Each structure stands twice: as structure tokens, then as C-alpha cells.
Amino acid sequence: MRRIRTARAMRVWAEERHAAGDRIGFVPTMGALHEGHLSLIRAARRSTGAVAVSIFVNPLQFGPSEDLVRYPRALAQDLGLCRKESVDVIFTPKVAELYPPGFETTVTVIQLTRRFEGLSRPGHFEGVATVVTKLFNIVRPDRAFFGQKDYQQALVVRQLVKDLDLDTTISVCPTVREADGLALSSRNRFLSLPERRAATILYRALSAGRALIQQGERSARKVRQAMVRLIRSEPLSRLDYAAVADADMLEEFHVVRGRAVLLLAVRIGKIRLIDNMVVTCH
């Protein structure tokens, strides 16, 4: 496994791989890797000839009230995990490499970012869209892999790839969960034992909403109310948002139809967690 720190060297590697006839699979991360990230790396390995992983804690996607400094960092462990997964190259640029002095251009996806995470975290998706665009221009991946847990982010990335004519296919892979349903997240490590037990309320609420739809309920208000009741039944939880929306455009439903996505953002103690489920109405 090769570690690269500069954009120039990363571009050279990508050019060499393409010249050799390899298709590049790319997994962009902020590090603190867990089984969810590893599932993306394995998906990249199965479908492409060369696998690149980036580790970059992107300051542009953190708001003023969010603790960039506290975000978990475990580079030595991450490198070891990538090596075990036979990653070909790991790109670990410093902030000044991607955002040098005088940097002032950002990328904005307008409609998809006006609600949910975009509303709760102003500027977040502008930071995501900007760094993803830069990384795609540097790594030149044929296919990039994202997890369904960050559902809105995956839609935003797909939209910017389409709108900017980037030559990359986006693959969204299933959320990886613990045995009790909790979606894997780098932030889970900050949960105390009681908070960790309480955090299963997200999966239980989503499952309850899905069950209602599968049983024939088509009132989005009733489905949402069922999820909210469960979240509020947990004393350690504080609801940010709960929604029942169109799975493609994230417009909230009045009447559930077609492919729907159930979305939750909940604070367990001080830790903010997000999760979702996609349900198809028959």
C-alpha cells in the first residue's frame, strides 16, 4: 500500500493506473474507519482494479458550533485497516494542500440541501460538495463509494456529479449496523454506556415507521408521529428532525407513495446521530 500526501503525486498515480488499463474505485473518508468504511472498500475492490482511499477531516463542512478539533482521528489504526483490506493507495493531504492561501471557490448544490441536514447544519453541504469535487478532480475515480447512512449526502454528491459532468459513477452501499440495529458511525465512540443503549431508539423508530407503511399506512403525518413518539419516549434523546420524504428528491410526503425514505437526526446526550430507511410502497 502506498501513502500519498500531495495532489500532484495523487494525479500522477491515477494517470499511471488509467494508462495501465485499471478502473479506479475511490472511498473518500474523514478517517476513524470502522466496518462501514471497510464495506465500501470491499465493494470498491470487487468492482474496480485499483482502490484509493482518502482520509481528510474537512474543515469546510463543520459549522461554527461543531467541534472540528474533537472529531475522532486514528490515522495509524486507519492505515493498518487499509493495509489489511489491500488498498492500493491512501491519500492523506493536509488542509493547506486542498485549501491553500487565497482559496475562495466553493460548490453549492441548491435544492437538495435546503432541508434536513442542510437546514440543521448551515454550510455543511457546501463544504461536502467542495471537497468531493476537489477529490474527484485529483483522484479521477471511475467509481466512488458512499454509505446509505449519509443518505442526503449521497444524493447531493450524485447531483453534483450529474450537474458538473464529472466522469465518475456513484455507488451507494447499504448501511452497516450493530447487532442491535445501531448504524455504525465514527461518533458512536463518544457515547457513554447508557447513551449507547439509548441510541438504539433511532433504529427502533425507523423500524416502526417502516412497519406502518408496509402494513398499508399512507399518511406521512401518522408515520412521522409514530417515529417521534418513540424517540421522545427515550429520556436521553432529543429530536432534531424526523421526516417521511420522496427517496429521490427529498420532498416531504403528505401521502406516502413509491419509494420513500424515513429520516432521523437525534441527539443522544451531546452526540448527534443520523439514520434512515428506504421503504417501497406496493
pLDDT tens string 104-152: 999 999 999 999 999 999 999 999 999 999 999 999 999 999 999 999 9
* pLDDT attached to residue 34: 96
Instruction: Quote the DSSP letter at residue 157.
Output: H
- Annotated catalytic residue 37: yes
> Strand ranges (DSSP E) for the chain?
2-4, 24-29, 50-55, 89-91, 143-147, 169-173, 237-246, 259-268, 271-280
Sorted by where each starts, the structural domains of the chain and their CATH numbers stand as: 2-173 (3.40.50.620), 186-276 (3.30.1300.10)
CB atoms within 10 A of CB 128: 26
* pLDDT attached to residue 39: 98
The model's confidence at residue 29, banded by pLDDT at 50, 70 and 90, is very high
The one-letter amino acid at 124: H
**Residue of 34, 37, 254, 282 marked active site:** 37
Examine the pLDDT at 196 and tell me if it is beyond 90. yes
Give percent of the chain above pLDDT 70: 100
* pLDDT attached to residue 133: 98
The model's confidence at residue 204, banded by pLDDT at 50, 70 and 90, is very high
Examine the pLDDT at 65 and tell me if it is beyond 80. no
Higher confidence at residue 276 or residue 65? Answer: 276
- Sheet containing 259-268: order of strands: 237-246, 259-268, 271-280
The model's confidence at residue 63, banded by pLDDT at 50, 70 and 90, is confident
